[in-house]
Chains A and B, each alone.
Chain A
Amino acid sequence: MSTETLTPEEAEGQKHAQRARRNTSIGWWVITIVVAVWCLFPVASILATSFKTPGELSNGKFLPDNPSTGNYEEILVGDSQELFLSALWNSIGISIIATLIAVVLATLCAYAIARLDFPGKKIVLTVSLMVSMFPVISLVTPLFNLWRSIGLYDTWPGLIIPYLSLTLPIAIWTLAAFFQQIPWELEQAAQVDGATPLQAFRKAIVPLAAPGVFTTAIIAFFIAWNDFVYGISLTSTEAARPVPAALAFFTGASQFESPTGAISAAAIIVTIPVVLLVMLFQKQIVAGLTSGAVKG
């Protein structure tokens, strides 16, 4: 671009525009940093705490003076290893199974809602909405009673089944919204072009539906991973107790030692998968949470 052909006024105007653009850009970076600090501060805080030695916990400072990995050693290879690793294994296993079951069932259900005419379609959606609004704690007492009498108390299935009440409704709604947006005519078009029905479905529909199913799985996993009420009420030992419940009941390696550091370290470890998923799939998660929302 040559500035020679511009009159001085025009050049001045261009500089103004440039400066204004740069100012807006700086403004946006400032806003972004404020938002980032607000969103990440508690995570940074517990991260800092996880590197403090027991003696430093009460130093009244954000950062540890001499960062130490002692807390991580305690929960990964030390005295609390069994407690934490079994809880981590329970959390991973139970959350993944509950997510898979919910996503498979919800995919079928949402496909029917999006593609087929059948009486009771609205009932399915209304019931899943009601289920999602339900206070979990109201289910705990009867399930606690029932699980104890039929032997599901403190087992994996004893948590997976109630987790479905958390993951199924959101999976159905999210997937139904996704499937509404798929151009299903593509399937017929592929068949007209000579593909078999199965080929048409696999080649035309699956690639379009897969991202929605995947996003739904992430959201459902977050919900199962986060559960606390079922976790503390329907388990009693390391056989099935998931991490959030284990954290709440963790009392430390010995009664003379504060469990603060070890809990912080465990909290950081279970936050890593969340942060990774969020960083990798930010776009999809936002789309999943807002897709089809509130058409006015």
Chain B
Amino acid sequence: MSSIPTTVPAVDAEAPDDPSTGRGRRKAPRSERARAEARLGWWLAGPAFFIMVAVIFYPVLQAFWDSLFSYRLTAPEEREFVGLANYGVIFSDPVFWSALGVTTLITVVTVFVELILGFILAMVMHKAIKSTRGLVRTVILVPYGIITVVSAFAWYYMFSIDSGYINNWFSWVPGFDGQLNWFAQGGSALFVIMFSEIWKTTPFISLLLLAGLAQVPDDLSEAAAVDGASWWQRLWRVILPNMKAAIMVAVLFRALDAFRVFDSIFIMTNGAYGTEVLSLLAYRTSIGRLEIGLGSAISVVLFLLVGLLALIAVKGFNVDLAGGRGGRK
């Protein structure tokens, strides 16, 4: 599930330098009062800030340090410094590349499908008549709120050869004998995995897009309609360009989230039949086989990949997350 902030507060972090905010005292040298305010600010924000830093940055540094050692928890006395050798092992292992490929495939496919479905859902929520609006929003929040593991089990049992009924339901489809063991080969297993991921996270993306839709001025679309633009033209020329920022933020958040996919795969195949992803590889190396050195190295690589993705999105596509003002050139 997305643990990412879905809201982008319009905090004017630059406000202190901006005389237009009416806080003119910034122009003067820092007064006693401003210093007191700054002190109070840190007293209030400090605890939360400190905990976040401690819970994230200490383990990151530790993981990087551990990744430089050949270190198995089962044989602690054999711990030795090996430099970047663990990274060499990872990059020369086809298992890593296959996991990276599968992770990328899942990310690209799910985010693409979710963007389309999410936009349709957002349109439905935006335009729905009053009597159904509340209902749509309620049902849409069920997949959002449900535990990912529960969703994974639901989809798994639906398709499973032992307890499923999907095979039975679709046995009339020509060329489908109704005996398919969905989780016994990569392709069909990934299909179900992606299906469940899409079901679970489309509501989230649709809510972000809904926020974007609400920002598109209605009169723009109406004016275009008066000028004779078709629905399709209005969508592509008026609505989508005006919600580019929302789309960018939604895609970035979901892509980073999808890249960390773990729960569904753990439940459905546990990485068998070519469905291994990076998170699962890291988990199985360090927690499963207790190879702390190698596992840490995979963790660091995963972390750097996520960072790189975020950086590309922020720099390359100009998504200003902190200001929530994406897509401005």
Contacts and interface: CB of A to CB of B under 8 A. Distances in A.
A263 to B, nearest CB: 6
User: Chain B binding site: helix, strand, loop or mixed by DSSP?
Assistant: helix
B47 A105 contact: yes
A138 B285 CA distance: 12
B197 interface: no
Contact of A161 (B41, B45, B55): B55
Interface in B259-305: 259-260, 262-263, 266-267, 279, 282-283, 286-287, 292, 295-296, 299-300, 302-303
Contacts, number: 393
A127 B146 contact: no
Interface stretch (B83-91, B126-134, B180-188, B222-230): B126-134
Contacts of B266: 228, 232, 248
Contacts of A166: 3
B125 to A, nearest CB: 8
| Main secondary structure on A side of the interface with B | helix
A173 B6 CA distance: 8
A286 B211 CA distance: 10
Interface residues of B, number: 121
B282 A137 contact: yes
B14 to A, nearest CB: 8
B53 interface: yes
Given A39-B143, A141-B296, A129 B321 contact: yes
A278 B38 contact: no
Contact of A125 (B11, B242, B260): B11
Interface string B128-146: 1101101111111111111
A173 B55 contact: no
Contact of B262 (A134, A137, A172, A283): A137
B1 interface: yes
A106 interface: yes
Interface residues of A, number: 114
B5 A57 contact: no
Interface stretch (A9-17, A70-78, A191-199, A267-275): A267-275
B42 A120 contact: yes
Interface of A: 24-25, 28-29, 31-32, 35-36, 38-40, 42-43, 45-46, 49, 52, 57-62, 105-106, 108-109, 111-114, 116-122, 124-146, 161-162, 164-170, 172-174, 176-177, 180, 219, 222-223, 225-226, 228-229, 232-233, 243-244, 247-248, 258, 260, 263-264, 267, 270-271, 274-275, 277-279, 282-283, 285-286, 288-296
Given A122-B13, A133-B256, 9 more contacts: A28-B131, A31-B128, A46-B153, A52-B163, A114-B11, A142-B59, A168-B52, A260-B163, A263-B153
